[in-house]
């Protein structure tokens, strides 16, 4: 399966998973309203400073809930691809079943990202300091270091997503899933980079469009009504994007997984996925 075929299949699969998208939408709306109730409309810097601890707790809980929800989303997408149906009764059990392993993968990813970020900033800072911010040569080297760090972070993100999908698809543990994710990424580097970049290209104008509509509405509507409208618009588009992106990448992953296991049988797997 090629990149464009994976995107097309992901869009088709997401379009047929309305109940799951509605569930993700409700999660987005509830959590966004919760944040709005904590910080209020147009919070001042002083207020943000006063509730920093509360915000930290809120976002930690939010991230944990999102990891929990991902178990259900990934399982539902996998079921739709392989069996052409989604068992909504299994959604919450799957959330609970895969939570600890998905959390483990995300935790490792978090520490790697933090380490990578500190390393990139430290290295760039050294070159900026050497040039005292005035030397063009050292400034260029510093920005190159930042760019390399960003590229590595992007590649790391791909590996972490693939590893999470392996947890659900193969039922493997954290370490085994990471090994599988790295293996697939190394073997099919071009395809996975391509599908992630193309998903990003599709998502970007959708997000820009929603924000543009929100800004236009802001000229006529203010306060809570505008905030709620923005929450609903962003919640709906983000819900579809979550399922669409997962379906696109997972469709490609299932296709190349067969190639890795049984070279020469990709066409048969693609035909099976195309029939969903």
Helices (H) and strands (E) in the chain, counts: 10, 0
Question: What is the domain count for the chain?
Answer: 1
Residue 55 contacts by C-beta under 8 Å, 6 or more apart in sequence? 38, 39, 48
pLDDT tens per residue, range 230-241: 889 999 999 999
Task: Encode pLDDT of 149-206 as tens digits.
Answer: 999 999 999 999 999 999 999 989 999 999 999 999 998 989 999 999 999 999 888 8
Taking alpha carbons only, the member of 74, 71, 77 closest to residue 17 is: 77
- Spatial separation of the C-alpha atoms in residues 260 and 166, rounded to whole Å: 14
- Output the pLDDT for position 260: 64
Mean pLDDT, to the nearest integer, of 58-84?
92
Handedness of CA 127, 129, 133, 134 (dihedral sign): negative
Q: How far, in Å, CA of 247 to CA of 224, rounded?
A: 34
Q: Are 83 and 276 in contact (CB under 8 A)?
A: no
The whole-model pTM stands at 0.84
The candidate with the shortest Cα–Cα distance to 3, out of 188, 237, 138, is 188
Distance CA(244)–CA(97), nearest Å, equals: 23
Could you tell me how far CA 92 lies from the centroid of its own chain?
20
**Domain extent for 220:** 3-274
Beta carbons of 194 and 3 less than 8 angstroms apart: yes
């Amino acid at each position: 399966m090629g990149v464009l075929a994976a995107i097309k299949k992901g869009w088709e699969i997401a379009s047929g998973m309305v109940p799951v998208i509605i569930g993700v939408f409700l999660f987005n709306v509830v959590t966004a309203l919760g944040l709005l109730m904590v910080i209020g409309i147009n919070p001042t810097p002083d207020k943000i400073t006063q509730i920093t601890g509360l915000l930290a707790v809120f976002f930690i809980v939010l991230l944990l809930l999102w990891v929990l929800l991902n178990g259900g989303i990934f399982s539902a997408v996998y079921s739709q691809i392989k069996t052409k149906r989604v068992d909504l009764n299994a959604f919450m059990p799957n959330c609970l079943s895969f939570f600890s392993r998905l959390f483990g993968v995300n935790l490792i990813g978090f520490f790697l990202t933090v380490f990578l970020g500190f390393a990139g900033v430290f290295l760039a800072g050294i070159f900026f300091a050497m040039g005292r911010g005035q030397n063009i040569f050292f400034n260029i080297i510093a920005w190159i270091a930042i760019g390399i760090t960003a590229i590595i972070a992007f590649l790391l993100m791909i590996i972490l997503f693939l590893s999470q999908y392996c947890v659900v698809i193969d039922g493997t543990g954290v370490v085994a899933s990471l090994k599988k994710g790295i293996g697939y990424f190394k073997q099919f580097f071009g395809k996975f980079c391509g599908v992630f970049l193309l998903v990003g290209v599709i998502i970007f104008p959708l997000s820009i469009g929603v924000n543009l509509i929100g800004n236009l509405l802001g000229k006529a509507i203010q306060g809570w009504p505008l905030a709620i409208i923005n929450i609903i618009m962003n919640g709906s588009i983000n819900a579809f994007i979550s399922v669409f992106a997962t379906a696109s990448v997972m469709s490609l992953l299932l296709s190349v997984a067969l190639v890795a296991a049984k070279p020469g049988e990709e066409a048969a797997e693609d035909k099976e996925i195309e029939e969903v």
